[in-house]
Each structure stands twice: as C-alpha cells, then as structure tokens.
Structure 1
C-alpha cells in the first residue's frame, strides 16, 4: 500500500462556522486516523472564533491535526477576499518551507487559487475539491449583479480561473453525479477520470435513528402533543432556501390537520419566519423556532414526522448536495422537497425515502403530501441504503483513495 501523505488542507470556511464541524473536521479526523499527516488552514470569523476556538483546538489535538487558523476579513467586498488569498498563500508557503507537503487539498475556489500557485511553484499535487459551481452560484444567488462592471469582471475572471483549475488539478472532487455530468458532457474537461463524486456525508453516529422514546421526549421539550403532525426544517434561511414556498406547503398541511406544527431548527432570527408565516395565516402556536448546537440538532429533530425543504433549482444547484438531506434521512425521517437540485431526485427514488415535487404550487404540495403519507420507512433499512450516498466512512475511503492514488501516480 502507498505510504500516507503529508496534506495541506486549505479552507476559506471556518472551523468555528457550522460547516467546519460537520463537513470538514469529520473527514480530516478519519484521514488522520489512516495515517495521513494533516495541516489545516482555515479562515475564522472573529466573533465565532472566540466562542468556538477551544473546542476545535481540542478536537484537532486529539486527532493529530495541526490547525493554523487565520482571521477572515469581510470588508471591503472583493478587496478583503484578495487580501485573504494573499494571507493564505503566505501561510501555505511558510508551512511548506517548514515541512514540505505532498498534496494541497483545496476546499472550493478561493483555496484553489493558492493550491494552483503551490503546484506551479513547488510541484505539490493539487486537489481541487470544487464543492459547487461557485461563480455561477454568486450570480444566480444575486450576490454578483452582472449589470455592475465590477461584478461582471469578477465573474469572468473567476470563470477563467475555474477553467485553469479544471485543467491543472491532479484530482477533482464534486458533490454530485449531476456535476460530474456537467464537467464531462457540457464543459468537456480533459481526463474526466480525475473526477470523484463525494457528497456531503453524514456522521451516522451523531444522527442516530429516532426511537419512539426520543420522539416523546422531544415533543415534551417543545410543547407538542403526541399525535400532532410535525414538519421540520433544519439550517439557515438564506439565499437558496424558499421560505415562502415551504410555508405555502405547510399551510396545505394545516388545511388537512389544523393542529399541525412546523419546527425550524435554525440560528437565524425568528422574526422573518414568523412574519412570513403570519402572512399566510399561520400563527405562532403552529411554529417552533429553536437554535441548536450540533449535538442538540438530533434531539430536537426527533420531534418531527418528516423533513421539509425547498431549494431554488438553478443551474448551479446541479452541483449542490444539501447537508440537511443526509442528516434528516439518517434520523429515519422521510423528506418532502423539490425536484431539480443535485442528485436529490435520484437519491429519493433509489432509497424510497421521500418525495421530490416537480412543481411548487398547491396541486404539487397536495400530491407530495399524499405520497409522503403512504411511505412506510424502516429507519434501519433506510440507513443501510444511504451508505453509498452519505456514509462518512465511505467519504473518508474515497478521499484516502485519491490521496494514495496521487502519491503513486
């Protein structure tokens, strides 16, 4: 077997952000346990860093991961990102001078700027973990308005860099089979065998199948009666998540059973959720809005009968793997969502674990709720069927295979 690798993992996301503990550290812990020597550089928001630093320090130390956190800067827009890229490159070069790395593993595009530079300068292998189609996400999400000359120039510059990354990367990771299809068939990248699909995985140990006892406890905690239908939404309400449509769907649920409750497990301000609900005649008695730590999330979601989320089905979302999907399904909750996002349609069809609505209107909501009502899921069988898509150990195995393959090439 090929020897373990010395890895420099670059992330513009912070480890004290929600994605760090769920979508970075679990993989790196698994890879470190396989013998890989991991140095992690991340960019931390100051307010979250102060609160979460000690826990991440301890987690990394226990796993043998060297963590080198940097300060994330937000303003002025774009200029601050360029400044952070220079900081990332300076730190990466300094660390490489101390002890050379075999592979620079770059989480998304900002990190890839540095990974590409490291390959050109030192010959390190360059792993482009592209996550999604970032530049297109910025445009479709309304964050980069192409009518602005500045944003238009930024978009075209990033797209040129994207083409370079795809050409120069020694290995590419995407989140969905749909994204791999785009790269191979529409963008026609050379050597498509360099592309590996690794969805946003779920730590099944942290999201155990819901039991009747845990459901009863969660409902007592939230003040929900035992036989009330409960829909659950997990995560932030932001650019891509269609709050209005989700509440329209829940209103159809309320028409069937006026006692129905919708649980939001989110750190977002409850005000906009309550206002949007009130505009649809949904009063506060029908809502439970709770912030939660990662450990508390499964405890609260145990109150639910099904998960509900809708995502804008744009081009860039073909590359999206919703973290919440794996977590909801791991708990044994069926999911009601919309079609046209990443591999969601394919996953739900293969596992029989939910319904993807093709059109978001009253007729579509009613059909989706009808289909959901007749699903009979066995949580343990469901978890076994999810292994190919979401099992963390499988994700770690795929990254390990990439690392060892790059070393032996």
Structure 2
C-alpha cells in the first residue's frame, strides 16, 4: 500500500559513518515522529559495518526506519563506483516497484543518478529531491581527487557536469547548504530561486552537549594534558581537501600566542599523523599532541575540554557551497571556532557566531583572531547562538516543509 509519507532515501555515504549518523539518521529520527516512513539505501565501509552495523540497525528499527545496507567497493577506481551504482539502481527500482514511494530523496550526486532514473521512469508519480549538499564535482577537482589532465577523470568530470544539468532541471526540489551557493545557481545557472532550499549542516544538541568542569578535568588527566594548557582541536579527516600541514601550521602559531598549548586531533587517520615529518618541521613534541579516534556519540566530551576549534578546506572555488559539519558541533559544545579561508556563508555569520576568520596563516592575522576568541568565550552564549543557526530541530522542520510542499 502506498502512502504520501513513504520516502526512499538513497545515500552513497554509510549510516555507520559519523556523517551518516549526524547528517542523515539524526534528521530521520525527528521526521519519523511526524509519521514519515523511510527506507534507506546506503553503502557501508566493510570495517565500519562490522563494528557498528548491528547497533545502527537496532537504532533505525526503534524509529520504524527500514535499512538496506550495501557494501561499498573502493577498487579499482571508477569501475568500482560503476558497480556500486548498478547495485544501487537495481535495488532502488526493486523497492519502488514493491512500495510505490511518494518521494525519492537523493543525497549528493551518485545517488541522484538513481533518482533521475526513477523520475524518468515514473514521472509525476514520484517526487525527486536532489539534496546536492555542495558542488561535489568541483570539490573532487579542488581536492585533487580528479586530475583533469587524466583522460579517464576528464570523461568522468564531463559526464557528471552533463548529468548535473539534468538533476537541476528534473528535480522537484534542490537542497544546498549555503545562501552563497544558491545565489550562484540562480545567477549563473538560471535555476528558479523558489526551487532551491538552503539548510546548513545541523547539529543534535542532545548529543553535542556540555560537560561539567569535573568531567573535563578527568578527561584531561586521562589524555595526559596539563590542566592549564590551552587546547587547540581539529576534528575530521586528513587528506584530500584536508591537509594536515595546515593544522600543524595553525597550531604552531596558537602555541606561540598562548605558550602552554596542546593539539588534540579527533581523527581516524592516526597512523599517518604520528609518523609525519611535519611534526619535526613545526617543532611539535609528542607530549603536545594527542590523537583520538572517538565514537560519534563521544566526540562532545573531547570538544568540551577545548579552547579553540579549527575549520578549513584546501582553497578552491567549491568552498562557496560548503557548510562545515564540525563548526556547528564545536559551537554546540561552547567552543569558539577559527576558520581558515572563505567558506560558504562564513563571512555573513562571523558577527552572529563566535567564529574568527583568517585568510592567511600569519602571526598578525592569527594573533588578532586569538585576541577576539580569548576575550569573547562564553560557553552558554556560544551555544545559544549556534542553536538558533544550526539546531537539528530547524533541520527537521526544513525537510518536513519540503516534503509537504512537493506532494
């Protein structure tokens, strides 16, 4: 039996990944309470699925969400992605035939290929949401994952640029993370403004919460961090659009300003970091560095002991449409944020949120930013301003509004 609240959600990101938990499942939990019935197709990394698959399935079942996980394949490049797409497309059509979903909600570009196929096959019987997030094609180029001098990657680039135009044309709604990205699409791509919805990456404030001074002290002792040390935090991936060199350079300036400082890296890429020759280049001693791979639901504990969170991407045009997930999580835990470079709507947000922007990692620019952050830190006010900007509740209301509009 069909229902106008049945939604097929397709994601090439895994639900066992932190991003899947924070930026997919968190929304769905809230939307499920409003009667929406989700079926998820996702691609899971084998190791993550072994570790957390049962836990995530139990969580989704509690919220009446059906999950069809497929195992992500990585090699060989391009061919493995084509194989994943074939499986994604086959399963989506099978599920659509059986369940007659009212909406197919596609997260990013590869999933949107399937959404477009469903739209072409079923027409107005199914609504197609292209949740593009950012400009993924340009992100791949800017992050040096697609070398356009390579004939294969150039063809892949051209293929997706052509498909992107079709996504924009045939989608019933487009979702992007920044007003700057939307404005580009309206001005340069002639997409009707009313077709595009903007929502920043949102944060579950029940997960990213505050801890007590006693809990913070205990965690510092556990990590071997001096009680008085000023803790510089970077949370996230290293590689691609995230160069660890930038983190070390920013921390070196932070340590020069505060003297007694500590670098806390919350990342899964610990081995590469601990063996990096850059530690010696920036004269970072082993006792000044902690590397932790924390479960998604435990990250808040580490953010609470910090004094400054760092956000950056390698420079590139695609940054216009980025809304850093970690920025909202930092702020939710009362952590001021240092942003390197112009990213998304950051310039418009700096007077509303406790963030400081530097365009160059120089002593002059960074020290000015550290002055501002050191003076302004007020945990409760930082958290309150962040809630107004990027609470999970606002994200749930946003998506519920879109679902109602297009039915």
Indicate the TM-score class for this superposition, using the shorter chain for normalisation: over 0.9
Render the CA deviation track for 1:138-170: whole Å, top value 9, x for unaligned.
111111111111111111110010011011100
Q: Is the deviation greater in 237-246 or in 145-154?
A: 237-246
Partner of 1:238: 239
Aligned to 1:37: 37
Match of 1:340 in 2: 342
Alpha-carbon deviation of 1:256?
A: 3.2
SS in structure 1 at match of 2:201: coil
The whole-number CA distance in structure 2 between the counterparts of 1:192 and 1:309 is 29
Instruction: Tell me how far apart the structure 1 counterparts of residues 93 and 4 of structure 2 sit (CA, whole Å).
Output: 21
SS at match of 1:106: strand
The alignment partner of 1:356 has SS state of: strand
2:156 corresponds to: 154
The within-5 A match list for 1:268-347 is 268-272=269-273, 274-347=276-349
Secondary structure of 1:24's aligned partner: helix
CA contact (8 A) 1:241 1:312 kept: yes
Tell me the alpha carbon deviations over residues 353-376 of structure 1, each in whole angstroms, 9 at most, x when there is no partner.
Answer: 020112222322222222222224
Question: Would you say the 8 A contact 1:215–1:304 is kept in 2?
Answer: no
Contact persistence 1:210–1:332 (CA under 8 A)? no
Unmatched segments (≥5 aa) in structure 1: none
Q: Using the alignment, how far apart are the partners of 1:257 and 1:32 within structure 2?
A: 47
Counterpart of 1:142 in structure 2 is 144
Cα distance between partner residues in 1 of 2:347 and 2:222: 34
Unmatched segments (≥5 aa) in structure 2? none
Q: Deviations over 1:77-134 (max 9, x none)?
A: 1122122112111111111111100000000000100101101101211000001111
Contact conserved, 2:11 with 2:107, CA < 8 A, in 1? yes
Q: Deviations over 1:157-203 (max 9, x none)?
A: 100100110111000100111111111112221x2201111111100
State TM-score, norm by structure 2.
0.95
SS at match of 2:291: strand
| 8 Å contact kept, 2:5–2:102 | yes
Counterpart contact for 1:236–1:267, Cα < 8 Å: yes
Segments of 4+ in structure 1 off by > 3 A?
A: none
Q: CA deviation at 1:24?
A: 0.8
Secondary structure in 1 aligned to 2:296? coil
Residues 236 and 266, structure 1, Cα contact 8 Å, conserved in 2: yes
How far is 1:230 from its partner? 1.1
Query: How much has 1:275 moved relative to structure 2?
Result: 3.1
Task: Report the RMSD for the aligned CA atoms in angstroms.
Answer: 1.6
1:23 corresponding residue in structure 2: 23
Check whether the contact 1:4–1:34 (CA below 8 A) recurs between aligned residues.
Answer: no
1:3-402 equivalence runs, <5 A: 5-123=5-123, 124-189=126-191, 191-272=192-273, 274-351=276-353, 353-377=354-378, 379-402=379-402
Q: Residues 30-75 of structure 1: CA distance to partner in whole angstroms, max 9, x if unpaired?
A: 1111101111110112222122110111011000000011121222
What SS is found at the alignment partner of 1:374?
Answer: helix
Q: Does the CA contact (< 8 Å) of 1:214 and 1:302 recur in 2?
A: no
- The total of aligned residue pairs comes to 402
Q: 1:187 to 1:360 in 2, by over 3 A?
A: farther
- Provide the rounded CA distance (Å) in 2 between the counterparts of 1:303 and 1:350: 23
